[in-house]
């Protein structure tokens, strides 16, 4: 099956700093990638849809200036958490469909802890 990787798998940063998370589709091209956030004991919450070559689409309530998304190529999307605060500590997961409506392939997730 298709493989999606994320880097880093976990990161600890200080409040006020920025953190970049990479999501790569390793063996297929993804014009669309999705970024999710999951707080402990809660379900996945879609943050934004990343579109190759165009601006990301953010879900209601997600600050686009705080969570910067760049989908520079067909295999790479990045999520930058700017000026991170402790409440941004969460599990961030990306996913990519292999076709328009197919199965989502998930990255392994990135656990962010902001101190």
Partner 1 sequence: GQNIDQPTEMTATEGAIVQINCTYQTSGFNGLFWYQQHAGEAPTFLSYNVLDGLEEKGRFSSFLSRSKGYSYLLLKELQMKDSASYLCAVLDSNYQLIWGAGTKLIIKP
37-44: long-range contacts at Cβ-Cβ below 8 A with a sequence spacing of 24 or more? Answer: 37/90, 37/91, 37/92, 37/93, 38/90, 38/91, 38/92, 38/93, 38/109, 39/90, 39/91, 44/93
Q: Is the peptide bond before 8 cis (omega within 30 degrees of 0)?
A: yes
- Indicate whether 93 belongs to the interface with partner 1 (CB under 8 A): yes
- Indicate whether 98 belongs to the interface with partner 1 (CB under 8 A): no
C-beta closer to partner 1: residue 9 or 15 = 9
- Indicate whether 113 belongs to the interface with partner 1 (CB under 8 A): no
Q: By CB under 8 A, name the one of 78, 107, 112, 114 that touches partner 1.
A: 107
Q: By CB under 8 A, name the one of 7, 52, 91, 98 that touches partner 1.
A: 91
Site mask for partner 1 (CB under 8 A), range 22-51, x = bound? ------------x-------xxxxx--x--
3-state DSSP assignment of residue 90: strand
3-state DSSP assignment of residue 87: helix
- Indicate whether 67 belongs to the interface with partner 1 (CB under 8 A): no
Contact positions vs partner 1 (CB under 8 A): 34, 42-46, 49, 91, 93, 100-101, 103-109, 111
């Amino acid at each position: 099956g298709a493989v999606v990787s994320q880097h880093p798998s976990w990161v600890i940063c200080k409040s006020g700093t920025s953190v970049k998370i990479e999501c790569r589709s390793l063996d297929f091209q993804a014009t669309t990638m999705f970024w999710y956030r999951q707080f402990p004991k809660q379900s996945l919450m879609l943050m934004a849809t990343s579109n190759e070559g165009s601006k990301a689409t953010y879900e209601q309530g997600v600050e686009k200036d705080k969570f910067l998304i760049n989908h520079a190529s067909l295999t790479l999307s990045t999520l930058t958490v700017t000026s991170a605060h402790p409440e941004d500590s969460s599990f961030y997961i990306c996913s990519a469909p292999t076709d328009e409506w197919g199965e989502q392939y998930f990255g392994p997730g990135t656990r962010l802890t902001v101190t």
